Amino acid sequence: MTSLTGAILLLSLIVFSLVVVSFCNRVQTRNQMIRQKVQHMRFRVDELEEICAGIEPLLESVLIPKLINEEILDLIKSIKQLDPKATFVDLKLEHAQALAEKLDAEQRTQPYYRVMASDTAIAKHKQYLTDAARVVRRHHAIGRLQNDEMESYVRELSWAHLMVEVISHVVQGHKAVNRDDPIVAYGYYRRAQNVLIGALQADDRRHRMIRELGEILNGKRLALSIDLMPETEFNPAQKPNFSGVSSAELNQPAPPGGEYKAS
């Protein structure tokens, strides 16, 4: 073998080695990108699951949780295509499919209940509702929802966003009445009414609640109408005695947030 032939073979070997290394690098880069994308999609699935579970008890219908669960199913199917060996996918898929069957049959997995234990919990669930509205608008943008459907869903989320705070404050007022603490009760009822007054929703229920809270504050009724507030387990058995509280006490600032009293 001549020196020229040897040089050619050596050069060919070098070129081949570079091609193999380049190919391996591309494969490795692609696999890394797939892993990162799968990880991102997994985080999104977890996030949507939390949103779906968080908003269901705040909404009268299951249509919006159903919509979010459909997005979860789409993400899971995409993950399976990208990485068929992903071990977490099958369990996620089983859970989402079981939830879809219930929601398709309009069966709730959690009761309708909007009472939160603290201002922190109120803020957390408000964020769930805000995130759900983004999902609704995205589905409208890609043509999965008609204009009237999107508007109806956003109105429902907006009302729930208001009610999660109002109902929680009213319940705290009821609890204060039940433990014979009229000053605190008055503050929570007034706080709930002020939230309603400051809201922008053009909803007849809002005006009714403002009026009925005024009647509670004036000692003319015990609780809100059941169609406005079916969470009745804390409704007082007797009217609060606001007459013995001075006007200065009644006009002091509403109670601060934080963790609410359990009873």
Domains of the chain, residue spans: 17-112, 119-263
pLDDT one-digit tens code per residue, 231-246: 999 999 988 877 766 5
pLDDT one-digit tens code per residue, 76-123: 999 988 888 777 888 999 999 999 999 999 999 999 999 999 999 999
Collapsed DSSP state (helix, strand, coil) of residue 66? helix
Phi-psi region of 236 (alpha: psi -120 to 50; beta: other; left: phi over 0): beta
pLDDT over 90 at 251, yes or no:
no
DSSP label of 118: B
State pTM to two decimals. Answer: 0.83
User: What is the per-residue pLDDT for 227?
Assistant: 96
Count Cβ atoms below 10 Å from residue 71 Cβ, excluding itself. Answer: 19
CB under 8 Å to 63, separation ≥6 — which residues? 153
Strand residue runs (E) in 82-179:
none
pLDDT one-digit tens code per residue, 26-37: 656 666 676 778
The overall average pLDDT reported for the chain is 87
Secondary structure (DSSP) of 132-193: HHHHHHHHHHTTSS-HHHHHHHHHHHHHHHHHHHHHHHHHHHHHHHHTT-HHHHHHHHHHHH
Give CA–CA dist 165/160, Å, rounded: 9
Over residues 181-196, mean pLDDT: 94
pLDDT over 90 at 257, yes or no:
no
CB under 8 Å to 121, separation ≥6 — which residues? 168
User: What is the per-residue pLDDT for 2?
Assistant: 67
Q: How many residues does the chain have?
A: 263
pLDDT one-digit tens code per residue, 116-138: 999 999 999 999 999 999 999 99
